[in-house]
Copies of this chain bind each other. A is one copy, B any other.
Amino acid sequence: MNEMIEIGARSKEAQRILSRAGSAVIDKALRSAADALENNTEYILEENSKDIRAASASGMAEAMIDRLTLSGDRISSMASGLRHVAESESPLGRVLSGETRPNGLRIEKITVPIGVIAVIFEARPNVTADAAAICLKAGNSVILKGGKEAVNSNKAIASVMREAIAQAGLPEDCIILVENISRQAATDLMRLNGYVDLLIPRGGAGLIRSVVENATVPVIETGVGNCHVYIDAAADIDMAADIVVNAKASRVSVCNACESLLVHKDIAELALLAVGERLKEKGVEIMGDEAVCEILPYAKPASPEDWAKEYLDYKISVKVVESIDEAIEHIAKYGTGHSEAIVTDSYAAAEQFKAQVDAAAVYVNASTRFTDGGEFGFGAEIGISTQKLHARGPLGVAHMVSSKYVISGNGQIR
């Protein structure tokens, strides 16, 4: 714990200086970090290759090794991400509201940094650069704790960025990478009250569960997406098929991918024949209820557990429902509050779905895959919040702020 308190104290002190630096200095630091990443490509790739060798030796799956692997292009794309954040508007010092009270007190609500943000993440080393940039832009210092598989890559990226921001005039401790990769260090970080103002876990369901269970600092829960597409009785079948195939199969490993399909009974046969064929072409396995299995001979029977599963794979659960009400209830029961879509040409059905489905993003006639900071126009994102506190949906720079009330008087007492 002492080690982590020392890191917390350094981060907090750096943030105090950062909060007074002004956005021109912050932007300069981000551009300087972008240049430094590109200028140190060779060094970073060398450190990255140590991680890759270790991963291969330990028998890590190819897909995981691919996520871990950096290249000149990937480093350039990290750098251009930083430049993009530098060019975006500062979210700080905005007056959100203001009024003069009857007693003459002037009350203004102004955006300020959150303070110290901790990010615990897995695998991909590019998160080191992305998360640091998003936090810094909003005046926050960041404590990063990456997965042990990427420890050398993360260290290299963090040390290059630390040096670069220091040259631009910011304390290098605005970015601290926790080099202790033990579980205990992660738990200590989750309980660093008084130092950490916000903790964001970025990773799989296991990491998020561990954070929710152990953290005593404020948390924004991200990520798990059991997303549904509901094909309503009044749907255009071609549009429905395009949306389902895109939502399921354009990229199966992401949280905004569709995991479950609901189809209204009145359109079930036609819709399932059309959609099923196209999913089959993409190699998607269908886990269906009884009605689905009757229509699609190649579907396998779904078990009750299938309705709650986030497959992150070429697999989808499919169910025929009696009504839109049943679809909405099913989503309320099994959804994770991430992204939910209806395909329909009925005004009444669209309105009902929008009003009654409780999720970060509710779609009419579009793919769930759009739930993404870039697609929403937020620029870089640090994750997708599935909780209802503070921010819901894609978390961009604009969400990494708090506010304070500034009250100007001339001697008012109560």
Contact = CB atoms under 8 A, between A and B. Distances in A.
Nearest to A104: B366
Interface in A368-414: 369-371, 375-377, 387-390, 392-393, 402-414
A379 to B, nearest CB: 13
A413 B243 contact: yes
A197 to B, nearest CB: 5
A406 B246 contact: no
B367 A414 contact: yes
Given A356-B20, A409-B366, A246 B414 contact: yes
A65 interface: no
A393 B101 CA distance: 16
Interface residues of A, number: 68
Interface stretch (A107-115, A144-152, A277-285): A107-115
Contacts of A367: 412-414
A363 B407 contact: yes
Interface string A185-198: 00000000100011
Nearest to A354: B406
B218 A216 contact: no
Residue of A101, A105, A213, A413 ringed by the most chain B CB atoms within 10 A: A413
A408 B213 CA distance: 36
Nearest to A250: B414
A197 B126 CA distance: 32
Given A361-B407, A414-B246, A388 B212 contact: no
B358 A414 contact: no
A364 to B, nearest CB: 5
A219 interface: yes
Interface string A89-114: 00000000001010001010000101
A239 B411 contact: yes
B358 A404 contact: yes
10 contacts: A114-B388, A197-B389, A218-B388, A220-B389, A243-B411, A363-B407, A369-B414, A375-B414, A390-B390, A393-B404
Given A101-B377, A366-B408, 16 more contacts: A20-B355, A20-B356, A105-B366, A107-B376, A115-B388, A193-B212, A212-B216, A218-B221, A220-B389, A243-B413, A250-B413, A360-B405, A365-B409, A365-B412, A366-B409, A366-B412
The 6 A-B residue pairs with the shortest CB-CB distance, nearest first, are A366-B409, A246-B413, A388-B402, A390-B390, A366-B412, A369-B414
